[in-house]
Structure 1
Amino acid sequence: MDDDDECETPSVKGLEKILFGGKRSGNHVDEVWPNLLLGDMSVANDRFSLWKLGVTHVLNAAHGKMHCQGSHEFYGSTVEYYGVPADDSPSFNLSVYFQPCADYIKEVLSSPGGRVLVHCAVGVSRSASLVLAFLMIHQRLSLLDAVKAVKLHRWIFPNRGFLRQLRALDLTLRCEEHNTRGDHHSSALEGQCHDLL
């Protein structure tokens, strides 16, 4: 097995199998990366809990949806708010938010004392996908490694459409790295990269 087989992106079915394993009971919120919390709307709607958790920023992946109260007015001046109006639907294009949200999370984590809660309704699909994208874009983890890193702390299950979009991101990032390194020993990756162009 060479290096390229080692970092092959699993199929959507393969990812679902990995995601399905492990404990399935979840907390309202879990710290899945240093100062990066992934949670549901009940913790996001509880300003006292956020204060106790030391949250300075909230990224709401269900902005404007029912039961998600998040807004600049709701949090006031104590917490910075960023809203993404995503639907938890396989046909929804979440990938347009991958880069801006990853940049936002990175900016928060780079600032002294910054702690960010990323949430949606349940904290397993929309928000989890944005956290995975951040880990892939700014922490340079493969999709598989990002999934494993988050699953150590929280059960997640992005819908099939989001998994497809994350696989496409994984391939794009691997191709960029491949081209930057000028590494032309894998014809399989070369072909996949060519198909993307």
Structure 2
Amino acid sequence: MSTQDVGYKTPPICDLLTLLLKNRRPSGAYNEVWPDIYISDVTTAKDKTLLRHLGIAHVINAAHGPSHIDTGADFYSDTNIEYHGVEAPDSRDFHITPFFYPTASFIHKALSQQTRGKVLVHCARGVSRSATLVLAYLMIYEKLTVSEAIDAVCVHRNILPNAGFLQQLRQLDSNLHVQRRDAIY
């Protein structure tokens, strides 16, 4: 179903959880979940040799900050990696929505550059925060519905955004549907 369908309704959280939990298989420390977009854990994000080998040119740390995973631009200063930090706890009460568009824009610009490098989005385990930001990117720039985005990522990696993040993705889905529907009429 496309977001342009007039009868489209954002699925309830229970349906999204069903999508997230079906057909689970082992995930690695990192997985390419969309062309040139990887989701990973912190260990991968700190392995500069591996990042170079994978061709990673952009890192988004969805657990940025001293009380989370304190890598930051300084950590990558001896590389050619561009860094973007999002200081987000993995808490259902945290409002991650303000980070959707700036992070999606960072990913979009990274993938649009002539010297196109790959993008790594990570948090502690690569399951909730980083996955949420990648899903938002797919919804905003690739025009996928929340269900389509979940399906696309889950083919490559087991993810499980917390319930608060899922609710915020549902709201984004609903808002994008209205914007796209209104743009048609």
| Contact residue 6 and residue 181 of structure 2 kept, 8 A | no
1:20 CA displacement: 1.1
Q: How has the CA–CA distance of structure 1 residues 152 and 65 changed in structure 2, closer, same or farther, with 3 Å as cutoff?
A: farther
Other structure's SS at 1:130 match: helix
1:68 CA displacement: 2.3
TM-score, normalised via structure 2 length? 0.92
Is the counterpart of residue 48 in structure 1 residue 73 in structure 2?
Answer: no
In the alignment, residue 148 of structure 1 is paired with which amino acid? D
Q: Report what 1:188 is aligned to.
A: none
Matches of 2:134 and 2:118 in 1, distance apart? 14
Matches of 1:21 and 1:65 in 2, distance apart? 35
Q: Report what 2:27 is aligned to.
A: 26
TM-score, normalised via structure 1 length? 0.87
In the alignment, residue 135 of structure 1 is paired with which amino acid? L
Q: Report what 2:126 is aligned to.
A: 123
| Contact residue 22 and residue 155 of structure 1 kept, 8 A | no
Larger Rg: 1
Matches of 1:168 and 1:90 in 2, distance apart? 14
| Contact residue 65 and residue 85 of structure 1 kept, 8 A | no
Other structure's SS at 1:180 match: helix
For each residue in 1:102-158, what CA deviation from the matched residue of structure 2 results, as whole angstroms up to 9, or x when unmatched? 000000000123211000001010000000000000000111100000011111100
| Contact residue 27 and residue 156 of structure 2 kept, 8 A | no
Is the counterpart of residue 151 in structure 1 residue 147 in structure 2?
Answer: no
Q: Report what 1:186 is aligned to.
A: none
- 1:16-95 equivalence runs, <5 A: 16-64=17-65, 68-76=69-77, 77-95=79-97
Identity of aligned residues (%): 44
Q: Which has the higher contact order (CA 8 A, sep 6+)?
A: 2
- Between Structure 1 and Structure 2, how many residues are aligned? 180
- Which is helix-richer, 1 or 2? 1
- Give the counterpart of 1:100 among 99, 102, 108: 102
Matches of 2:101 and 2:76 in 1, distance apart? 24
Q: Over the residues paired in the alignment, what is the CA RMSD in angstroms?
A: 1.5
In the alignment, residue 167 of structure 2 is paired with which amino acid? R
Is the counterpart of residue 114 in structure 1 residue 93 in structure 2?
Answer: no
Matches of 1:103 and 1:85 in 2, distance apart? 17
For each residue in 1:163-183, what CA deviation from the matched residue of structure 2 results, as whole angstroms up to 9, or x when unmatched? 00000000000000111111x
| Contact residue 70 and residue 81 of structure 1 kept, 8 A | no
